[in-house]
Structures are given as structure tokens and as C-alpha cells.
């Protein structure tokens, strides 16, 4: 069970609306309820990966996603400010990306189509956050590859297989991208981590 405590003053809903939500079940298998549950589960599973700045941003996103879910349960979408709806959509898109990182065909086009928005609007959402769609995907894929390369249980797995598992189809491109971000080739990083474990 995951319990969240949120100061009432931070929710842009009236006290009457909040009272109406007591003991109201929000389905977690469709719509905004599915978004909320997936986002919160992903966040808690990956909490160890986030620094203080990430956690501050995630707190805001969590509040936005929660507000959107509560407003949906009330059928009071107008009570949700536009910036909250926008941030909730970004959170939904990011969860979708994380769930499909291993798909080599994951592109901005497929992401936009899956969320029924234009490609231009998708790029604008990420641009307003100071990043690009492709850059966000690449960063998350590299983080997963780095984690797997450091994992003792995956030491026998070939590097190209780990890269392919997270959507990198070209071993050469993966090696070059990994080196540019972490300063070591994937094999050098793996060797370094193995030495650290044996010391």
C-alpha cells in the first residue's frame, strides 16, 4: 500500500469537493486513474535514482497527477488549472516512455499518436521543460544500460544485448553515446565496476 499525505491547501479543489471524494474509489485500470497509479508506482520503484532536484520536481508532478485524478472523479475538469493538466499529461507521457524504453521503434511520433496529441505539441511540452523528447528517452535508456552493466547478475550478458534490451539497435552508436555521457566506453565502465566489487 502506498499512502500519500498532501496538505489540503495545495489542492485546487474546494473543501466541499474534497468531502465528496471521501471513500470514492478511482479505478486504476483505465483513464486518469491508470495514469495516476502507473506514475506513482514507477516513482516509488525508482526513488533511489533521483537526486534532491528531481524529487522537488516529482513532488510538483505528483500533486498535479493527484489533482487531475481527483478532479476526474468529481467530473470537475474545469476546477483543474490548465498548467496542472499540462503537467499531468507530461507525467503520463513520461510513464509511457519508461514502460516502452526497450522498444526500438519508440519515437516522438508514436508517443504523440498514443496520447492523441500532435507531434508539434509533444515537442512543445518537452521544450517548455527545458529538454527534448529524444534527449529524455536517450537519457533514460542510458541510465538503464548503466545500471545493467553494473549489475553482477548480468555480468555474463553481452554488452550489445544489454544495449538492445533498452532500445539501442546499433552497438557502435550505443558505445559512442555511452562514452560521451559517462566518459568511459561500456566495456571500460563494466570492468571498473567489477574491480570496485572485488576490492
Range of the domain at 66: 10-99
Residue 96 has pLDDT above 60, yes or no: yes
Query: How many Å apart are CA 124 and CA 130, to the nearest integer?
Result: 10
Phi-psi category of residue 6: left, alpha or beta, with phi > 0 → left and psi -120 to 50 → alpha = beta
Domain count of the fold of the chain: 2
Q: What average pLDDT does this structure show over 25-45?
A: 78
Which of these three, 49, 82, 99, is where a domain ends? 99
Residue 37: half-sphere exposure toward Cβ, Cα within 13 Å:
10
Q: Do 94 and 29 share a structural domain?
A: yes
Give whole-number Cα distances, 127 to 62, 74, 118, 124, 133, in Å. 20, 31, 14, 5, 8
Q: Do 78 and 153 share a structural domain?
A: no
Which of these three, 73, 99, 125, is where a domain ends? 99
Contact 80, 68 (CB under 8 A): yes
- pLDDT tens readout for residues 150-199: 999 999 999 999 999 999 999 999 999 999 999 999 999 999 887 766 55
Please state, for a pLDDT cut of 90, what percent of the chain lies above it. 43
Of 54, 53, 32, 37, the closest CA to residue 2 belongs to 37
**105 contacts: CB under 8 Å, gap ≥ 6:** none
Is 0.85 surpassed by the pTM of this model? no
R_g over Cα of the chain: 20
Q: Do 144 and 93 share a structural domain?
A: no
- pLDDT tens readout for residues 67-83: 777 777 776 555 566 77
Give whole-number Cα distances, 163 to 11, 99, 177, in Å. 42, 16, 11
Residue 43 confidence (pLDDT): 81
Contact 165, 153 (CB under 8 A): no
**pLDDT category of residue 28 using cuts at 50, 70 and 90:** confident
Average pLDDT, the chain: 84
Output helix, strand, coil percentages for the chain, rounded to the nearest 5: 70, 0, 30
Amino acid at each position: 500500500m502506498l499512502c500519500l499525505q498532501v496538505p489540503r491547501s495545495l489542492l485546487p479543489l474546494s473543501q466541499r469537493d474534497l468531502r465528496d471524494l471521501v471513500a470514492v474509489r478511482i479505478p486504476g485500470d483505465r483513464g486518469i486513474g491508470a495514469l495516476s497509479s502507473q506514475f506513482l508506482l514507477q516513482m516509488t520503484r525508482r526513488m533511489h535514482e533521483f537526486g534532491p532536484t528531481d524529487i522537488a520536481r516529482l513532488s510538483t508532478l505528483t500533486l498535479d497527477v493527484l489533482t487531475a485524478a481527483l478532479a476526474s472523479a468529481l467530473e470537475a475538469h474545469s476546477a483543474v488549472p490548465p498548467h496542472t493538466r499540462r503537467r499531468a499529461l507530461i507525467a503520463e507521457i513520461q510513464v509511457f516512455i519508461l514502460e516502452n524504453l526497450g522498444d526500438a521503434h519508440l519515437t516522438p511520433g508514436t508517443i504523440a499518436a498514443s496520447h492523441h496529441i500532435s507531434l508539434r505539441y509533444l515537442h512543445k511540452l518537452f521544450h517548455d521543460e527545458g529538454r527534448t523528447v529524444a534527449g529524455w528517452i536517450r537519457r533514460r535508456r542510458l541510465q538503464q544500460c548503466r545500471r545493467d552493466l553494473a549489475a553482477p547478475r548480468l555480468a555474463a550478458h553481452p554488452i550489445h544485448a544489454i544495449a538492445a534490451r533498452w532500445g539501442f539497435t546499433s552497438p557502435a552508436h550505443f558505445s559512442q553515446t555511452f562514452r560521451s555521457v559517462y566518459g568511459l566506453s561500456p566495456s571500460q565502465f563494466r570492468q571498473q565496476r567489477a574491480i570496485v566489487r572485488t576490492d
